[in-house]
Structure 1
Protein backbone atom coordinates (compact mmCIF):
# COMPACT_ATOMS: atom_id res chain seq x y z
CA UNK A 1 0.00 0.00 0.00
CA UNK A 2 2.77 2.39 0.95
CA UNK A 3 4.60 1.69 -2.32
CA UNK A 4 1.44 2.41 -4.28
CA UNK A 5 0.94 5.77 -2.52
CA UNK A 6 4.59 6.77 -3.13
CA UNK A 7 4.33 5.77 -6.76
CA UNK A 8 1.11 7.77 -7.28
CA UNK A 9 2.67 10.82 -5.60
CA UNK A 10 5.74 10.54 -7.87
CA UNK A 11 3.61 10.32 -11.00
CA UNK A 12 1.49 13.30 -9.88
CA UNK A 13 4.59 15.40 -9.12
CA UNK A 14 6.16 14.62 -12.50
CA UNK A 15 2.99 15.37 -14.42
CA UNK A 16 2.40 18.66 -12.59
CA UNK A 17 6.02 19.73 -13.04
CA UNK A 18 5.85 19.06 -16.77
CA UNK A 19 2.74 21.20 -17.22
CA UNK A 20 4.18 24.26 -15.51
CA UNK A 21 7.09 24.60 -17.94
CA UNK A 22 4.81 24.93 -20.98
CA UNK A 23 2.78 27.87 -19.64
CA UNK A 24 5.16 30.72 -20.41
CA UNK A 25 6.14 33.12 -23.16
CA UNK A 26 9.84 33.98 -23.62
CA UNK A 27 10.83 37.20 -25.38
CA UNK A 28 14.42 37.38 -26.68
CA UNK A 29 16.76 40.26 -27.53
CA UNK A 30 20.28 40.36 -28.98
CA UNK A 31 23.15 41.85 -27.04
CA UNK A 32 26.19 43.48 -28.65
CA UNK A 33 29.66 43.31 -27.09
CA UNK A 34 31.01 46.50 -25.52
CA UNK A 35 34.12 46.64 -27.74
CA UNK A 36 35.06 45.27 -31.14
CA UNK A 37 38.74 44.69 -31.96
CA UNK A 38 40.22 45.35 -35.39
CA UNK A 39 42.78 42.85 -36.69
CA UNK A 40 45.35 43.59 -39.38
CA UNK A 41 47.43 41.21 -41.46
CA UNK A 42 50.13 41.61 -44.10
CA UNK A 43 50.92 39.12 -46.84
CA UNK A 44 54.08 39.04 -48.98
CA UNK A 45 54.87 37.34 -52.28
CA UNK A 46 58.06 37.47 -54.38
CA UNK A 47 57.77 38.94 -57.86
CA UNK A 48 60.78 37.29 -59.53
CA UNK A 49 59.88 33.67 -58.77
CA UNK A 50 56.31 33.76 -60.10
CA UNK A 51 55.88 31.14 -62.88
CA UNK A 52 55.01 33.51 -65.73
CA UNK A 53 56.95 34.88 -68.72
CA UNK A 54 55.52 38.40 -68.82
CA UNK A 55 56.26 40.85 -66.04
CA UNK A 56 52.60 41.93 -65.90
CA UNK A 57 51.52 38.33 -65.32
CA UNK A 58 54.15 37.95 -62.59
CA UNK A 59 52.76 41.05 -60.88
CA UNK A 60 49.19 39.72 -61.04
CA UNK A 61 50.25 36.33 -59.67
CA UNK A 62 52.27 37.93 -56.86
CA UNK A 63 49.33 40.21 -56.06
CA UNK A 64 47.03 37.20 -55.67
CA UNK A 65 49.62 35.21 -53.69
CA UNK A 66 50.20 38.09 -51.26
CA UNK A 67 46.45 38.43 -50.74
CA UNK A 68 46.15 34.71 -49.92
CA UNK A 69 49.11 34.99 -47.52
CA UNK A 70 47.42 37.92 -45.76
CA UNK A 71 44.16 35.95 -45.43
CA UNK A 72 46.12 33.05 -43.97
CA UNK A 73 47.63 35.38 -41.38
CA UNK A 74 44.14 36.65 -40.47
CA UNK A 75 42.89 33.07 -40.12
CA UNK A 76 45.84 32.31 -37.81
CA UNK A 77 44.89 35.27 -35.62
CA UNK A 78 41.20 34.34 -35.50
CA UNK A 79 41.34 30.53 -35.28
CA UNK A 80 44.88 29.78 -34.14
CA UNK A 81 47.38 27.47 -35.73
CA UNK A 82 47.66 23.72 -35.23
CA UNK A 83 51.25 22.54 -34.84
CA UNK A 84 52.26 18.91 -35.23
CA UNK A 85 55.81 17.89 -34.39
CA UNK A 86 57.61 14.55 -34.42
CA UNK A 87 61.15 13.69 -33.31
CA UNK A 88 62.93 10.34 -33.60
CA UNK A 89 66.00 9.31 -31.67
CA UNK A 90 68.21 6.24 -31.64
CA UNK A 91 71.39 5.70 -29.65
CA UNK A 92 70.71 9.05 -27.96
CA UNK A 93 71.09 10.86 -31.28
CA UNK A 94 68.36 12.80 -33.05
CA UNK A 95 67.68 11.02 -36.34
CA UNK A 96 64.85 13.10 -37.74
CA UNK A 97 62.55 15.89 -36.74
CA UNK A 98 59.46 17.15 -38.56
CA UNK A 99 57.22 20.08 -37.77
CA UNK A 100 54.07 20.97 -39.69
CA UNK A 101 51.61 23.82 -39.24
CA UNK A 102 47.98 23.99 -40.30
CA UNK A 103 45.37 26.70 -40.15
CA UNK A 104 41.73 26.30 -41.10
CA UNK A 105 38.80 28.70 -40.97
CA UNK A 106 36.55 31.08 -42.86
CA UNK A 107 37.18 34.82 -42.89
CA UNK A 108 34.21 37.07 -43.68
CA UNK A 109 34.22 40.85 -43.81
CA UNK A 110 37.95 41.51 -44.34
CA UNK A 111 38.94 44.54 -46.43
CA UNK A 112 42.06 45.09 -48.53
CA UNK A 113 43.60 48.27 -47.16
CA UNK A 114 46.65 48.46 -49.46
CA UNK A 115 48.16 46.35 -52.21
CA UNK A 116 51.51 47.51 -53.62
CA UNK A 117 54.92 46.39 -54.91
CA UNK A 118 57.84 46.88 -52.51
CA UNK A 119 61.18 46.10 -54.09
CA UNK A 120 61.20 42.45 -55.20
CA UNK A 121 58.03 41.68 -53.23
CA UNK A 122 54.35 42.38 -53.57
CA UNK A 123 52.55 43.34 -50.35
CA UNK A 124 48.86 43.18 -49.40
CA UNK A 125 47.49 44.65 -46.17
CA UNK A 126 44.14 43.43 -44.84
CA UNK A 127 41.91 44.64 -42.03
CA UNK A 128 39.19 42.72 -40.21
CA UNK A 129 36.81 44.85 -38.15
CA UNK A 130 34.96 42.67 -35.66
CA UNK A 131 32.01 45.10 -35.61
CA UNK A 132 31.32 44.10 -39.21
CA UNK A 133 31.95 40.42 -38.40
CA UNK A 134 29.38 40.68 -35.58
CA UNK A 135 26.82 42.23 -37.95
CA UNK A 136 27.38 39.47 -40.50
CA UNK A 137 26.99 36.88 -37.74
CA UNK A 138 23.79 38.54 -36.55
CA UNK A 139 22.31 38.29 -40.04
CA UNK A 140 23.17 34.61 -40.32
CA UNK A 141 22.65 33.21 -36.81
CA UNK A 142 20.65 35.62 -34.67
CA UNK A 143 22.21 34.88 -31.26
CA UNK A 144 19.92 35.99 -28.46
CA UNK A 145 19.31 36.26 -24.74
CA UNK A 146 16.15 36.17 -22.68
CA UNK A 147 14.55 39.60 -22.49
CA UNK A 148 11.39 38.73 -20.56
CA UNK A 149 9.52 35.62 -19.44
CA UNK A 150 5.76 35.81 -18.83
CA UNK A 151 4.11 32.94 -16.92
CA UNK A 152 0.42 32.20 -17.29
Structure 2
Protein backbone atom coordinates (compact mmCIF):
# COMPACT_ATOMS: atom_id res chain seq x y z
CA UNK A 1 0.00 0.00 0.00
CA UNK A 2 2.80 2.46 0.86
CA UNK A 3 4.54 1.45 -2.34
CA UNK A 4 1.48 2.57 -4.31
CA UNK A 5 1.35 5.94 -2.52
CA UNK A 6 5.00 6.62 -3.26
CA UNK A 7 5.00 5.21 -6.79
CA UNK A 8 1.98 7.23 -8.03
CA UNK A 9 3.47 10.70 -7.19
CA UNK A 10 6.85 9.68 -8.65
CA UNK A 11 5.21 8.58 -11.93
CA UNK A 12 3.08 11.73 -12.03
CA UNK A 13 6.19 13.86 -11.56
CA UNK A 14 8.07 11.95 -14.25
CA UNK A 15 5.22 12.41 -16.75
CA UNK A 16 4.89 16.11 -15.98
CA UNK A 17 8.65 16.57 -16.49
CA UNK A 18 8.24 15.30 -20.06
CA UNK A 19 5.53 17.84 -20.88
CA UNK A 20 6.54 20.64 -23.25
CA UNK A 21 7.33 24.00 -21.74
CA UNK A 22 6.49 27.17 -23.65
CA UNK A 23 4.93 27.23 -27.08
CA UNK A 24 5.68 25.33 -30.26
CA UNK A 25 7.04 27.08 -33.34
CA UNK A 26 3.79 26.73 -35.29
CA UNK A 27 1.46 27.59 -32.44
CA UNK A 28 -1.54 29.87 -33.00
CA UNK A 29 0.18 32.62 -31.00
CA UNK A 30 2.97 32.80 -33.61
CA UNK A 31 0.43 33.03 -36.42
CA UNK A 32 -1.18 36.13 -34.92
CA UNK A 33 2.11 37.84 -33.98
CA UNK A 34 2.80 40.97 -36.01
CA UNK A 35 6.30 41.43 -37.36
CA UNK A 36 7.88 44.83 -37.80
CA UNK A 37 10.18 45.65 -40.72
CA UNK A 38 13.90 45.31 -40.01
CA UNK A 39 16.61 47.34 -41.70
CA UNK A 40 19.84 45.40 -42.18
CA UNK A 41 22.91 47.62 -42.63
CA UNK A 42 26.32 46.30 -43.73
CA UNK A 43 29.67 47.70 -44.85
CA UNK A 44 31.88 46.53 -47.68
CA UNK A 45 35.54 47.39 -48.13
CA UNK A 46 37.88 47.75 -51.08
CA UNK A 47 41.31 49.22 -51.59
CA UNK A 48 43.98 49.88 -54.16
CA UNK A 49 47.52 48.59 -53.98
CA UNK A 50 49.65 51.70 -53.65
CA UNK A 51 47.91 54.52 -51.81
CA UNK A 52 50.14 57.38 -53.00
CA UNK A 53 50.29 56.46 -56.69
CA UNK A 54 46.90 54.82 -57.23
CA UNK A 55 44.88 57.58 -55.54
CA UNK A 56 45.54 59.78 -58.55
CA UNK A 57 44.54 57.04 -61.01
CA UNK A 58 40.80 57.38 -61.64
CA UNK A 59 40.43 53.84 -62.98
CA UNK A 60 41.98 52.28 -59.87
CA UNK A 61 39.86 54.46 -57.59
CA UNK A 62 36.71 53.33 -59.42
CA UNK A 63 37.81 49.69 -59.21
CA UNK A 64 38.35 50.05 -55.44
CA UNK A 65 34.90 51.58 -55.13
CA UNK A 66 33.39 48.73 -57.17
CA UNK A 67 35.20 46.15 -55.00
CA UNK A 68 33.77 47.74 -51.86
CA UNK A 69 30.28 47.71 -53.38
CA UNK A 70 30.52 44.02 -54.30
CA UNK A 71 31.84 43.22 -50.82
CA UNK A 72 28.85 45.04 -49.33
CA UNK A 73 26.44 43.01 -51.49
CA UNK A 74 28.18 39.78 -50.41
CA UNK A 75 27.98 40.81 -46.74
CA UNK A 76 24.30 41.62 -47.16
CA UNK A 77 23.59 38.21 -48.71
CA UNK A 78 25.49 36.54 -45.86
CA UNK A 79 23.47 38.43 -43.25
CA UNK A 80 20.10 37.66 -44.84
CA UNK A 81 20.58 34.10 -46.08
CA UNK A 82 23.71 32.85 -44.28
CA UNK A 83 26.96 31.33 -45.45
CA UNK A 84 27.90 27.74 -46.26
CA UNK A 85 31.31 26.86 -44.79
CA UNK A 86 33.38 23.93 -46.06
CA UNK A 87 36.37 22.83 -44.02
CA UNK A 88 39.12 20.27 -44.33
CA UNK A 89 41.95 19.54 -41.91
CA UNK A 90 44.83 17.09 -42.17
CA UNK A 91 46.25 15.89 -38.86
CA UNK A 92 49.28 13.64 -38.47
CA UNK A 93 50.70 12.68 -35.06
CA UNK A 94 48.37 15.17 -33.35
CA UNK A 95 49.78 18.04 -35.42
CA UNK A 96 47.70 19.96 -37.96
CA UNK A 97 49.51 19.92 -41.29
CA UNK A 98 46.88 21.46 -43.55
CA UNK A 99 43.80 23.44 -42.58
CA UNK A 100 41.51 24.72 -45.36
CA UNK A 101 38.23 26.60 -45.13
CA UNK A 102 36.04 27.83 -47.97
CA UNK A 103 32.89 29.88 -47.71
CA UNK A 104 30.09 29.85 -50.24
CA UNK A 105 27.32 32.37 -50.76
CA UNK A 106 24.76 31.63 -53.47
CA UNK A 107 22.02 34.21 -53.40
CA UNK A 108 20.81 37.37 -55.00
CA UNK A 109 19.76 40.61 -53.37
CA UNK A 110 17.18 42.97 -54.75
CA UNK A 111 16.12 46.25 -53.21
CA UNK A 112 19.38 47.12 -51.44
CA UNK A 113 20.11 50.81 -51.06
CA UNK A 114 23.55 52.37 -51.00
CA UNK A 115 23.68 54.67 -47.98
CA UNK A 116 27.22 56.04 -48.19
CA UNK A 117 30.58 55.61 -49.91
CA UNK A 118 33.54 56.81 -47.83
CA UNK A 119 37.17 56.96 -48.93
CA UNK A 120 39.50 56.86 -45.94
CA UNK A 121 42.98 58.40 -45.76
CA UNK A 122 44.69 54.99 -45.78
CA UNK A 123 43.24 54.09 -49.21
CA UNK A 124 40.31 52.02 -47.97
CA UNK A 125 36.98 52.62 -49.67
CA UNK A 126 33.94 51.75 -47.53
CA UNK A 127 30.45 51.27 -48.96
CA UNK A 128 27.52 51.19 -46.54
CA UNK A 129 24.35 49.47 -47.81
CA UNK A 130 21.04 48.70 -46.23
CA UNK A 131 18.11 46.45 -47.01
CA UNK A 132 14.68 46.65 -45.47
CA UNK A 133 13.28 43.22 -44.61
CA UNK A 134 9.52 43.38 -44.77
CA UNK A 135 7.21 41.57 -42.32
CA UNK A 136 6.31 39.00 -44.98
CA UNK A 137 9.96 37.93 -45.19
CA UNK A 138 10.19 37.56 -41.40
CA UNK A 139 6.97 35.53 -41.36
CA UNK A 140 8.36 33.27 -44.07
CA UNK A 141 11.62 32.79 -42.16
CA UNK A 142 9.67 31.97 -38.98
CA UNK A 143 7.65 29.28 -40.81
CA UNK A 144 10.44 27.29 -42.45
CA UNK A 145 13.58 25.58 -41.19
CA UNK A 146 16.96 27.27 -41.57
CA UNK A 147 18.08 25.14 -44.51
CA UNK A 148 14.92 26.01 -46.51
CA UNK A 149 15.03 29.81 -46.13
CA UNK A 150 17.02 30.38 -49.32
CA UNK A 151 14.62 28.39 -51.49
CA UNK A 152 11.25 29.21 -49.91
CA UNK A 153 11.82 32.85 -48.88
CA UNK A 154 13.85 33.94 -51.90
CA UNK A 155 13.48 37.33 -53.49
CA UNK A 156 11.38 36.86 -56.62
CA UNK A 157 13.12 38.00 -59.77
CA UNK A 158 11.14 40.20 -62.14
CA UNK A 159 9.75 38.37 -65.16
CA UNK A 160 9.25 41.46 -67.29
CA UNK A 161 11.18 44.58 -68.20
CA UNK A 162 11.81 46.32 -64.87
CA UNK A 163 12.76 49.69 -66.33
CA UNK A 164 10.39 51.63 -64.07
CA UNK A 165 12.40 50.54 -61.02
CA UNK A 166 11.38 49.27 -57.63
CA UNK A 167 8.12 51.24 -57.54
CA UNK A 168 6.71 48.74 -60.03
CA UNK A 169 8.14 45.86 -57.96
CA UNK A 170 5.35 46.28 -55.39
CA UNK A 171 3.07 44.50 -57.84
CA UNK A 172 5.34 41.44 -58.18
CA UNK A 173 4.66 40.04 -54.69
CA UNK A 174 8.22 40.86 -53.66
CA UNK A 175 9.47 40.41 -50.13
CA UNK A 176 11.65 43.52 -50.34
CA UNK A 177 10.76 47.14 -51.05
CA UNK A 178 12.53 50.45 -51.18
CA UNK A 179 11.02 53.39 -49.34
Question: What is the deviation of 1:95?
Answer: 1.8
Give the match for residue 124 of structure 2: 121
Q: Which has the higher strand share?
A: 1
Give the match for residue 3 of structure 1: none
Following the alignment from structure 2 to structure 1, what is the Cα–Cα distance between the partners of residues 172 and 45? 32
Following the alignment from structure 1 to structure 2, what is the Cα–Cα distance between the partners of residues 58 and 131? 37
Question: What is the deviation of 1:101?
Answer: 1.0
Rg: which structure is higher? 1
Instruction: Please say if residues 42 and 72 of structure 2, whose CA atoms lie closer than 8 Å, have aligned partners that are also in contact.
Output: yes
Larger relative contact order (C-alpha < 8 A, sep ≥ 6)?
1
Give the match for residue 75 of structure 2: 73
SS in 2 for 1:38: strand
Please, what TM-score do these two structures have when normalized by structure 1?
0.62
Q: What does the per-residue CA deviation read over 1:52-76, in whole Å, with 9 as the maximum and x for residues that have no partner?
A: 7961111110111100000000000
Gaps of 5+ in 1: 1-30, 144-152
Q: How many matched pairs?
A: 111
Instruction: Please say if residues 66 and 122 of structure 1, whose CA atoms lie closer than 8 Å, have aligned partners that are also in contact.
Output: yes
Q: Among 64, 67, 79, which residue is 1:62 paired with?
A: 64
Question: What is the deviation of 1:92?
Answer: 2.6
Please, what TM-score do these two structures have when normalized by structure 2?
0.53
**CA 1:38 to 1:44, structure 2 compared with 1: closer, same or farther past 3 Å?**
same
Give the match for residue 172 of structure 2: 140
